[in-house]
Structure 1
Amino acid sequence: MPSDLPKYVKRVPRGDRVHLYFRFRGCYTPLPGDPQSAEFFEAYAQALAGTEKPKGGKRCADGSVDALIRDYKASPEFTGLAAKTQRDYGRELDHLGGALGRFPARSIRRSAIVKMRNKISASRGTRSADFFVSVAARCFRIGLDLDYVDTNPAEKIDRINDAEAFKRWPVEARAAFEASSPPPHLMTAYMIALYTAQSLGDVLRLARTVYDGRGFQARRKKTKRSGYIPAFSVLRSYLDKLPKDGVLFVTRPDGTRWTERAFSEEFRAWLDKLGLDELHFHGLRKSTSAALAEAGASPHEIAAITLHATIEMVEHYTREADQKRMAESAIAKLEVAHRRARKKSSGVLPLKNKAR
């Protein structure tokens, strides 16, 4: 049965009333209730114009998602990010603007973000999908401050990527890698990452001039945090045996600098050759963070090494170690209670009161 409403207009019953919405690409824009009124046709024409690409370049309508993205990119929260992070965020913002940019930011619902996440997951994987949601949430968070939106439609959307995507390196895997005689640049980067918990980009940028023989005056490019990181004794012994030529610790065989992509490809190939296909370079950072937690280091102490921007991120890396420590503590307390109960009675495990 043909609809008596214009294109894209839908009736949505809510309680005893029926509301009219302009629905396009998962976004609902409310329209005046009387489809014969001048106000309705004016609002409809404005919404319909939003479905057409403007000629002669992109135009940001007031209050639109495109305008929000523009203002977010001009904010200190965005411009203060490292250049690479800005490029990574920019790609996700292009996806957001390409799908929803012409619509009023206030009309965007959580369902529209989830549908975009699911589509990205199918084409680019779950990690990319979660990253898109994270960037969208940051953008709409600025929208709250700038009065583009009243609520953040991308806030608290569940992650769909496996939290263990970057697994810790087991002792056996580390032993296998070290025994495989990897090329010097792979081994040096591995040792620095394992004993300083720095990310690949920061390891590749690490210069000899910031090492005083006892530790590093390091700087994390992503968060722009810097600090002194003492070198573990095993790492000091390794670095002392390296040739002292070159500005950087990790270089190509011809002395030139590695790009992250090229180094990652070679490191990945070496791991695959050893059958360590489930491990990644970034897992070394997680391994060290977890080892510090298991050794009893506090989150603030760990952050002083990893140079994380927030304690929440440290907790993300050390959650497994914390869970293990708390579980062992809980069972230890149960063992003590059990021994006490055996001294007093027949040895029934004190999980509940005995019947009288």
Structure 2
Amino acid sequence: MIKTRLRYCVFDPDRRGNPRYYVRKPGSKKIRIREAFEDREGNIRPEFMKAYFAALESLSGIPRPLQPPPREKTFDWLVDQYYKSSRFKGFDPATQADKRSVLNRFCETAGNLPYALFRTKDVEASQDKRRATPAAADKLVKYLRALFAWAIKSGHAKSNPAVGVEKIHETVGWHTWSLAEIAVYRQHHEVGTKARLALEIFLNVGARISDVARIGRQHEVDGRLRFVAWKGRGKKKTRRTIDIPISADLAVSVAATSTGDLTYLVAESGQPFTINGLGNKMRDWCDAAGLHHCSAHGLRKASAVAMAESGVTAPELCAVFGWGKLETAEIYIREANATRMSANAFARLEEYRNRKSISPSVTKTKSETIRKKNRD
């Protein structure tokens, strides 16, 4: 073997004189370089040097840096395309801002990675890394699932690695207002106040807070309220028109309260509430009544429970609350039926106990009467 001008590189031709080059370090096995050493002018070929440095890195135990993928194959590019899509632009500004916040933070560490190589185990690892904030971890999975669903439809991806990833945040759901809590709120906030009007809209319309912030006199049609639900309005498939009668309680409250021109509820500035602003104000009104565990969404649930307990059918519930699936309505109906059946069961048990507690009267049987007459 003959040493070359390159450190650890040796020339070791075979028995026929054909050139062979190796990189050899003491205590390590040698690595052959199969690229040609020189060109016709006697210059060392770049391909040879590339293989030479790769062999050195391999023998030193230092991993060779990977060539970064083209930008159009990275998460940074995919997320940028998503933001420019009509799908993303169809979301309301609050939803857009929330998605941007979550996906931008994800791209701070994963933005230069190739999204096509992302697998379910990678999604689960990203979720687990955020386990200290489980709700945020699950939201990331939800938004990645939506991102890849759009990417598949747009031809940028072939599979969705976020599908099938289970939640790690167990939610107990919003507290459903009881009749007693509704009475407490009404007693504290009298008819004529914005706080009382808000409750009557939530309770008698069963609307989401995104709709309550927008509902106003322009939606009144022949004694009814008719409006397009804010959620899902961007697509024909999910667009829901709500058309319900104005209840007596709501009519009284609207007539007694100073309202805005376009919306029933307005802020101190006279402008309509934003969705977040109304949510914060409702929080203040509940706290003022001592109902710290109650919320605006809990009133929507209370309205659904009351209708289900009154015998309203699943399609009727969907028409009122704008649900697209009967399964959602059937949840409330099953709960109402369970409550009704348990009440019936205990009523029957109490009736049975009352019958058992009554002492049977001692009466003479027919045979005893006949025997007495015979003796006489």
Is TM > 0.5 for Structure 1 vs Structure 2? Answer: yes
Question: Which one of 271, 277, 286 corresponds to residue 292 of structure 2?
Answer: 277
**Aligned match of 1:161:** 169
Query: Is the contact between residue 205 and residue 248 of structure 1 (CA under 8 Å) also seen in structure 2?
Result: yes
Instruction: Give the greater-gyration-radius structure (CA).
Output: 2
Question: Which one of 151, 159, 171 corresponds to residue 151 of structure 1?
Answer: 159
Partner SS for 1:228: strand
Worse overlay, 129-138 or 72-81: 72-81
Question: Which one of 192, 197, 203 corresponds to residue 201 of structure 2?
Answer: 192
Partner SS for 2:242: strand
- Counterpart residue type for residue 256 of structure 1: Q
- Counterpart residue type for residue 137 of structure 2: A
The within-5 A match list for 1:34-113 is 45-47=65-67, 49=68, 61-113=71-123
* Counterparts in 2 of 1:327 and 1:251: CA distance versus 1, 3 Å: closer
How large is the RMSD of aligned CA atoms in angstroms?
3.5
1:256 matched to 2:265? The reply is no
C-alpha distance in structure 1 between counterparts of 2:55 and 2:336, whole Å: 66
* Counterparts in 2 of 1:157 and 1:288: CA distance versus 1, 3 Å: farther
Worse overlay, 101-110 or 244-253: 244-253
**Aligned match of 1:129:** 137
Query: Is the contact between residue 185 and residue 252 of structure 1 (CA under 8 Å) also seen in structure 2?
Result: no
The within-5 A match list for 1:1-356 is 45-47=65-67, 49=68, 61-120=71-130, 122=132, 125-181=133-189, 184-212=193-221, 214-224=223-233, 225=239, 226-243=241-258, 246-253=261-268, 255-308=270-323, 310-311=324-325, 315=328, 319-325=331-337
Partner SS for 2:221: coil
Quote how far apart the aligned CAs of 1:209 are.
1.8
* Counterparts in 2 of 1:331 and 1:177: CA distance versus 1, 3 Å: closer
**Aligned match of 1:23:** none
Partner SS for 2:72: coil
Query: Is the contact between residue 113 and residue 154 of structure 1 (CA under 8 Å) also seen in structure 2?
Result: yes
Query: Is the contact between residue 271 and residue 277 of structure 1 (CA under 8 Å) also seen in structure 2?
Result: yes
Quote how far apart the aligned CAs of 1:178 are.
0.9
Long gaps (5+) in structure 1: 1-34, 38-42, 51-59, 337-356
Quote how far apart the aligned CAs of 1:80 are.
2.2
CA offsets, 1:252-277, max 9 Å, x none? 34533323333333321332344422
Query: Is the contact between residue 286 and residue 318 of structure 1 (CA under 8 Å) also seen in structure 2?
Result: no
CA offsets, 1:311-330, max 9 Å, x none? 17x61x76254245268669
C-alpha distance in structure 2 between counterparts of 1:172 and 1:217, whole Å: 30
C-alpha distance in structure 2 between counterparts of 1:126 and 1:272, whole Å: 27
Query: Is the contact between residue 133 and residue 157 of structure 1 (CA under 8 Å) also seen in structure 2?
Result: yes
- Counterpart residue type for residue 182 of structure 2: R
Query: Is the contact between residue 96 and residue 136 of structure 1 (CA under 8 Å) also seen in structure 2?
Result: no
Long gaps (5+) in structure 2: 1-53, 57-62, 234-238, 349-376
CA offsets, 1:269-317, max 9 Å, x none? 3323444222211222222233333334344332322224x317x61x7
> TM-score, normalized by length of structure 2?
0.63
Partner SS for 2:195: helix
Give the percent of matched residue pairs that are identical in Structure 1 and Structure 2.
20
Quote how far apart the aligned CAs of 1:184 are.
1.4
C-alpha distance in structure 2 between counterparts of 1:149 and 1:113, whole Å: 15
Matched residue count: 281
CA offsets, 1:59-114, max 9 Å, x none? x7122222222232333332222232222222222123223221111222333333
Query: Is the contact between residue 242 and residue 321 of structure 2 (CA under 8 Å) also seen in structure 1?
Result: no
Partner SS for 2:264: coil
C-alpha distance in structure 1 between counterparts of 2:306 and 2:135, whole Å: 25
Query: Is the contact between residue 294 and residue 321 of structure 1 (CA under 8 Å) also seen in structure 2?
Result: yes
C-alpha distance in structure 2 between counterparts of 1:192 and 1:133, whole Å: 34
**Aligned match of 1:53:** none
Larger RCO (CA under 8 A, 6+ residues apart): 1
Query: Is the contact between residue 189 and residue 195 of structure 2 (CA under 8 Å) also seen in structure 1?
Result: no
* Counterparts in 2 of 1:327 and 1:174: CA distance versus 1, 3 Å: closer
**Aligned match of 1:54:** none
Quote how far apart the aligned CAs of 1:250 are.
0.7
C-alpha distance in structure 2 between counterparts of 1:306 and 1:83, whole Å: 23
